[in-house]
Structure 1
Amino acid sequence: MASSGETRRGASEVLRVEGLTVQYGALVALRDVSWSVHNDEILGIIGPNGAGKSSCFAAVTNAVTHRGRTFLDKADVSALRTFDLAGRGLRRTFQQNSFFGELTVLQNAVSAIFRDFSTDLATSLFAPWREATTRRAAELAAAQLLDFFGIARQYHDQLPGDIPYGVQRLLSVALAYGTGAKVLLLDEPAAGLSGGDMKKLADVLIGLRKRNLALVVIEHHMDLIMSIADRIVMIDQGAMLATGTPVDIQRDPRVREAYLGRDE
């Protein structure tokens, strides 16, 4: 884990947000929040319920009206649509599982990577054998994606609603990652998990970091975020209260008073 103020050797800043402010009527949900994340790094965001953490992700992905600027690979993407940001590699998950319930697990994975394997109309009409070959390649890549996320082959032909909850959480992360992700924003990925399922999730997130992905993780499970994060940002009442390594955060009396000492 990188020490305070350091980044990993060769790491570069992938995502930077400056002065994010979100207001819902008279309620200021987020106030002048700024942070950055590098490739090969996990940035944790913690804070009490209602602190503004999810509003932060909504602002970063331009899914809510806000003030402030967002830079992806040093390019200002503050005005891009959420869909276009995803195409550039900025992806996110939500607190609830997100997948197509009527498709199998494998079909869901194929849908997440279809852009890299789609064929044009002419090919579909006049060279159907080529389309079939492309479809098989997409299914193979989708199976490999699921394998990487620890989703066993026995689940690939099942509907997401029929697989264990812990596997559903991994599937939601896998679908958000897809192919070509540069930054992955994860909103409470460990919600509802415990024991072995949480260990599997931690292993997956560390594996993604080793792939030079930049991860930003909102999480209430302190044991998990303290064990995997390189740096942590603490938000309370919409404002940044502290930032630093997990050790710095645990020692900060403001954090202990505002969050770590409270019942979750």
Structure 2
Amino acid sequence: MTVLLSCENVSKFFGGVKAVKNISLEVNPGEIVSLIGPNGAGKTTLFNVITGMYEPTDGTVYLGRGDSPLDITGKKSHKVAEKGISRTYQNIRLFNQLPSIENVRVGMHTRTERPFARSMGTFIVFWMNTYGVWLCGGALTAILYVFCIGLAGFLEYAYIRRSRGRPITPKARLIVDLVIFILGAVAFILLLRHFIAGEPPAQHWWPFVLPLIYTFYLCGRSWSAGIHDDDEQTLAHRYLDFVGLDGLEYELADNLPYGLKRRLEIARALGSKPFLLLLDEPAAGMNPVETENLMKLIRKIRDAGLTVFLIEHDMRVVMGISDRVYVLDNGELIAHGTPEEVQGNPRVVEAYLGRET
């Protein structure tokens, strides 16, 4: 069977503390694999090494094996996420003042087409547009242009705050966009008139022609930029529905009960379209009903084609959903196998219950 994730002799030391010592393990596609052990055994440290939050002291982490395994040892966490590994954390880390759907969209950032280049391009075009408006219509027109763009952003922010996360209404956005469009169009017409008359408003007028045309993009967010945003919105709705949060898309994360916050964190992790999902104690703090529902969700994730690697202390969860189990104690791998094999392993019993004297 092809190996999806492999750790070979991985160690992580913090000064004289050997948190993880010479760990080798494998996770195969389509599995649910659990990593268990007493508190302080090194489980989360190993997850942090795999996901790039810690650089290992020794050893190698591979994605795949075969003829061309990808060495992700020591890569930054955002690079690891881009390669298809996503995770949740022991302590819930959500943006509490954002609605659920925006939390999911944060997780989709690594799958946005050239996000940095697109953001910088929009920023540069905005200022070139502003300069072009100033050249053609004067300083007052340019100030009004910038004011309207700022007003559009402020109105959207104010509406979201007032409506508990719901986006600004199309009518309100259209009015502001229309003003921006008119200003940009007037500036373009003035520039064109100067050009036809052979009297360009400045010696280097030509760099501003395309940016002014691009005003259609900036002021028509509902049409152009909105196409991409609508795609993201649709996907985010799909992930929320998948984890059982349909109808709560615009509820602030801070208002969700604990169990639903855990589900939202999983939805955000799914937003990066991973093929390997790492869950760090997802059942921690849940009541029995929430735990049972979580087990169903994890199986559902696996059935959807993802591989799941989780840390968990709740043995009912571990024994109920795991295909294989690895056991750590004091940073060392002491056992691995099926849940039944691990459950009866004397070293595992000793790690949890101690040795008879």
CA RMSD in angstroms, aligned pairs only? 1.8
Aligned counterpart, 1:94: 89
Q: Is the radius of gyration larger for structure 1 or structure 2?
A: 2
Q: Which amino acid aligns with 1:93?
A: T
Contact 1:39–1:209 (Cα < 8 Å) also in 2: no
Question: Which of 112-121 and 231-240 deviates more?
Answer: 112-121
Quick one: distance in 2 between partners of 1:127 and 1:70? 46
* SS of corresponding position for 1:64: coil
Residue 166 of structure 1: how far off its partner (Å): 0.3
Q: Which amino acid aligns with 1:203?
A: K
TM-score, normalised with respect to structure 1: 0.89
Of the three residues 30, 37, 43, the one matched with 1:40 is 30
Contact 2:111–2:273 (Cα < 8 Å) also in 1: no
Residue 161 of structure 1: how far off its partner (Å): 1.0
Of the three residues 264, 267, 284, the one matched with 1:191 is 284
Contact 1:89–1:181 (Cα < 8 Å) also in 2: yes
Residue 62 of structure 1: how far off its partner (Å): 2.5
Distance 1:139 1:43, change over 3 A: same
Question: Which of 105-114 and 194-203 deviates more?
Answer: 105-114
Deviations 1:84-126 (A, max 9, x none): 0001111121101121112100111122224545673367437
> Which structure 1 segments of 5+ residues have no match?
1-10
Aligned counterpart, 1:151: 245
- State the identity %: 31
Q: Does residue 209 in structure 1 map to residue 209 in structure 2?
A: no
Aligned counterpart, 2:59: 68
Deviations 1:70-97 (A, max 9, x none): 1013211113211100011111211011
Quick one: distance in 2 between partners of 1:49 and 1:19? 22
Aligned counterpart, 2:314: 221
Give the number of the structure whose residues are more often strand, by fraction. 1
Give the number of the structure whose residues are more often helix, by fraction. 2
Of the three residues 59, 83, 94, the one matched with 2:78 is 83
Contact 1:14–1:182 (Cα < 8 Å) also in 2: no
Deviations 1:166-190 (A, max 9, x none): 0001111111121420111111011
Quick one: distance in 1 between partners of 2:105 and 2:47? 26
Q: Which amino acid aligns with 1:243?
A: H
Question: Which of 240-249 and 103-112 deviates more?
Answer: 103-112
Residue 134 of structure 1: how far off its partner (Å): 2.1
Quick one: distance in 2 between partners of 1:12 and 1:144? 30
Quick one: distance in 2 between partners of 1:89 and 1:72? 9
Aligned counterpart, 1:254: 347
How many residue pairs align between the two structures? 250
Question: Which of 14-23 and 62-71 deviates more?
Answer: 62-71
1:94-173 equivalence runs, <5 A:
94-117=89-112, 120=118, 121=122, 124-125=217-218, 128=221, 129-153=223-247, 155-173=248-266
Deviations 1:110-149 (A, max 9, x none): 2222454567336743763121122122112101100101
Q: Does residue 241 in structure 1 map to residue 236 in structure 2?
A: no
Contact 2:54–2:74 (Cα < 8 Å) also in 1: no
Q: Which amino acid aligns with 1:12?
A: T
Q: Does residue 25 in structure 1 map to residue 25 in structure 2?
A: no
